[in-house]
Amino acid sequence: MENYETLNVITEHADDFVYILELDRPDAMNSLSTQMAVELIECLKDLKDRKDIRVLILTGAGEKSFCTGADLKERKTMNNDQWKKQHDIFEDAYQMIREFPYPVIVAVNGYALGGGMEMMLSCDLRYVADHAKMGLPEVTLGIIPGVGGTQLLPRAIPVALAKEFLLTGKHIPAERALGAGLINGIFTGAELREKTLEVAKTIAKNAPLSLQSIKKSVDKGLQTDLNTALSIELDQYYKCANSEDRQEGVLAFNEKRKPNWQGK
């Protein structure tokens, strides 16, 4: 698979071992329709088992918006049963982002609101354009975040700040998000994709088993007590220590050359 485009999602093989998924509904602020969520699931399923991927970048088309959450024009026609069925699809898509075996980097090129911010929170690293604004405005619509916002946000920043953002529904400028520790960095809109790709390339040079094991150790360890978390880390450590790639890494170091990782 090289580059290909579905109706609402574009997949790009941007560099060795780096793929980009781009939400492609710029005229609708890249809001999440049912069809887009289905396509996102299909693309993630295809990518997660590929041998030529070590990092995934998630971004949106255009310069105004990464994603503004669920398409409310679509939702206004739904009854409760239809709303629930759509939300089930959204849950599956966001879970696949969180559980993607390799690091997922989000490049937020504009508004990340509601489900858009929850999608951002589902990623491992977060870089945003200087004009980007984030927020969880569900409280102003009579609902609450439903694909991770109330759980992921207080795991990313201090609880009092998370509650402030959740309870007010206000937009969060890029600089405040950086100060809160919510994002990893800010770039100009023109630089965002290139700079994010540079980070992805740096990560993609490393051993694929190590990348998977670090992500798994951190994510699973955060969900349990310290002793259990250390056991999770040790399991992943020996998975890497007993691998062919560990032997290759030591050999390459001593031979002063770049390692040739095989992922085994």
The catalytic residue positions are 118, 138
The Cβ-side half-sphere exposure at 196, using a 13 Å CA radius, reads 34
Task: State both tokens at 194.
Answer: 């290139």
Task: Give alpha helix (H) positions in the chain.
Answer: 34-48, 72-75, 80-98, 115-121, 149-156, 159-168, 174-179, 192-204, 208-221, 226-241, 244-254
CA distances from residue 101 to 17, 93, 226 in whole angstroms, order as listed = 13, 14, 23
Give the C-alpha separation, 59 to 193, whole Å: 8
What's the sign of the alpha-carbon dihedral 184, 52, 110, 115? negative
Residue identified by tokens 């858009």 is 116
Give the C-alpha separation, 95 to 199, whole Å: 24
